Amino acid sequence: MHKRFGVIALALLVSACSKEAPPPATHLDIVDAEQHPEQWFSHGRTYSEQRFSPLKQITRDNVDELGLAWSFDLGTSRGIETTPLVVNGVMYATATWNVVYALDARTGQPLWRFDPEVDRSKAADLCCDVVNRGVAYWQGKIYTGTIDGRLIALDAKTGEKLWDVVTVDQSKPYTITGAPRVVKGKVLIGNGGAEFGVRGYISAYDADSGKQVWRFYTVPGNPQEGHESEIMAEAAKTWTGRWWQYGGGGTVWDSMAYDPKLDLLYFGVGNGSPWNQAIRSPEGGDNLFLSSIVAVKPDTGEYVWHYQTTPGETWDYTATQHLVLAELTIEGAKRKVIMQAPKNGFFYVIDRETGELISANNYVPVNWATHIDPVTGRPVEVPEARWGKRAPYLQLPGPLGAHNWHPTAFSPQTGLVYIPVLETPYVYGDDENFQQSDVGWNVGANPGLGSLPSDKAQYLALRAAVKGRLLAWNPVTQKPAWKVEHNSPWNGGVLATAGGLVFQGNADAKLVAYDAATGERLWDHFAQTGIVAPPISYELDGEQYIAVASGWGGAFTLIYGGLFPAESAPGVGRLLVFKLGGKAPLSELASRAATKPSLPPQEATAEVIAEGQALYNASCLVCHGDHAVSSGLLPDLRWSPLLGLKDAWNSVVLGGARAGQGMPVFASDLDEAESEAIRQYVISEARLPFEDRFEGE
Ligand code: CA
């Protein structure tokens, strides 16, 4: 890094002597991030992915003067998860359907817009809405992954497409929602799809040409076809049965980090596919590299070490959560660590040179394991939790995790990791009707068991148990420093700044600033729609800015629309940019009060409605919501004009009439009587809306 910095300094000196303009600043990128706190060059700002801004103009004392500098309408009311980048005064951000925007970071004036024109039917292959978490920048180019599995390079100045490569077998339900990273001229990208039956991997592409350089599979394929590498042959020893027929999972859908000194690239690996290990690998086994943190050489993809957080994963306990590199003093010794708060509820501090576990402790209440054995590094499981073919088990955390994709932040000033935490209990139980060929979401777990209870007392007890908080965690002592309870489990990613502040958006539609040391709430701004994306900070002309994208969405909101505060309701997502003394107005979002049509008569018997509910839970719930309550991201079926039109309803469910908008075709799973039973169930939900049942509670 110093060598490179020296080259730039020399270039500046030469240009000063010859009275030419300094070299174009586009030659700076993430490699220079430590020397350029005013930029936000990459997803986690630096290769350490700390999401810590060294800027300190905005402080605990003046944060109450923070006001809107500008806003920009992203033209979509579906999920917005982007981390904007800011490079040399230009902001790069993504919206739904992989549209990329470049804006003047001073004013919000749009410079260019790129639409990769993704096939809308791909929405059927996404677990968690048509989201994207951001782009990468490298040497004057912008890189973006698309939900149809492409990796695209754009000219950062013009938005012109430079190359476009397909990174997946597009006949399979692979998707990309994560941000690429760039290391040593290679663009790194994984994919998602472990709820639909795919085999995970991460690939590296040449940043200039788009040519594939290497690929690292995270789970073994069919041994009879020969393993791609020795490490895959080793991994295959930890699997049983015919796992490859199910894909196996292990998708690398989000987190990466890089240590330039050790020259190690780290990435997090997702859950098994299907979830239920009793189907996927019936005789058990650790199932490497599911739910692991893996270290490889970035030039070749050669395996170096791994640490598996959840051996024999069977609960959707991904280890794809945000990875953070830091130097910590532990028992008097300086340690280079990698840290993660994965879905399984334990916070891990790992030696990033060797993969050795330094410490682990649960950061939320958990009941699937008692602790992590410090000698073996393995969780000590509670036997009932390994549900498989056994009795269902009410478990903490559930499949949404104790922490989902929303990035954590680490402040070297406070030494604390700030985690957007969820507490979402869930009943895991076998799906006796599992068939590998089933359309869409297919995980081998009975989704009806996780449905919100219609019994009032049970519902209120569950709602009280579902929590969300911002947790400040001390990774040295493995204990909480402070916590702030939220009104809802699903909230935004986190930013820490050298001004002693932590910023987080939430389901109350507010961006909030907290004292990083104490958690005291110091400032907030009402965004008019929920926020899940993480804030960033940058500086231009001596002024520090805080930026965040508003916009409500993601898995939790699709499934449990009935659990959220009204303020979170999806409105048009926007980039919101703040500075001290900012006075820009935020226009009111148009009211979107639903017009409820007159309801069709309920003609079916209770038996048919019950059958319809079971079918709805198996095929419809994960997108259209528990009890058919939509969060507003997708059409609320209860108020659909099709609800009273049996033939039109069947043409959508069985005939593919809305396939172009991402609605799957269920003709191979359901017959006409079953489609009709689902319609009758939705009519019953419309006549007694779930959200009205416990009104005033
Ligand atoms: Ca998953």
CA separation (Å) from 415 to 50, 476, 496, 679? 11, 8, 11, 54
**Interior/surface letters 9-48, b for 16+ CB within 10 angstroms, e for the rest:** eeeeeeeeeeeeeeeeebebbbbbbeebbbbbbbbbbbbb
Cα-to-centroid distance, 399 and ligand 1 (Å)? 7
Domains and CATH numbers, the chain: 606-692 (1.10.760.10)
Instruction: Please give the Cα distance from 687 to 614 (Å, whole number).
Output: 18
From 213, 179, 188, 211, select the one nearest 266 (Cα to Cα): 188
Which backbone phi and psi does 10 adopt, to 5 degrees?
A: -65, -45
Could you confirm whether 316 is annotated as catalytic? Answer: yes
Provide the pLDDT confidence category of residue 6 given band limits of 50, 70 and 90: very low
In this predicted model, which residue has the larger pLDDT, 641 or 253? 253
Neighbours of 267 (CB within 10 A): 26
Q: Which residue has the higher pLDDT, 192 or 19?
A: 192
Quick count: other Cβ atoms within 10 Å of Cβ 373?
13
pLDDT band of 28, cuts 50, 70, 90:
confident
In the block, residue with structure tokens 């699997």: 239
**Residue 518, pLDDT above cutoff 80:** yes
pLDDT for residue 513 is more than 90: yes
Q: How far is the CA of 457 from the centre of ligand 1 (A)?
A: 30
Ligand 1 centroid from CA 271, angstroms: 6
Residues in the chain: 697
Return the pLDDT at 592.
53
Strand partners, 393: 428
Q: What percentage of the chain exceeds 70 in pLDDT?
A: 95
> Binning pLDDT at 50, 70 and 90, where does residue 369 land?
very high
Burial 181-220 (b: 16+ CB within 10 A, else e): bbbeebbbbbbbbbbbbbbbbbbbbebeebeebbebbbbb
Ligand 1 centroid distance, CA of 418 (Å): 23
Quote the tokens at residue 273. Answer: 């596919």
Per-residue pLDDT reduced to its tens digit, 536-563? 999 999 999 999 999 988 888 888 877 7
Kindly name the residue from 29, 125, 286, 316 that is annotated as catalytic.
Answer: 316
447 C-alpha to center of ligand 1: Å?
A: 14
Centre of ligand 1 from the C-alpha of residue 440, in Å? 13
DSSP tag of 107: T
CA torsion 514-515-519-523 (nearest 10°) is -30
Other CB atoms closer than 10 Å to residue 78's CB: what's the count?
22
Tell me the pTM. Answer: 0.91
**268, 323 Cβ separation under 8 angstroms:** yes
- Ranking 116-120, 231-235, 377-381, 453-457 by mean pLDDT, the lowest is 453-457
Tokens encoding 241:
């049965």
Distance 318 CA to ligand 1 centre (A): 6
Residue 88, number of CB atoms within 10 A of its CB = 17
- Ligand 1 centroid–CA 559 distance in Å is 14
Cβ neighbors of 457 (< 8 A, separation 6 or more) are: none
- What is the CA(291)–ligand 1 centre distance, in A? 10
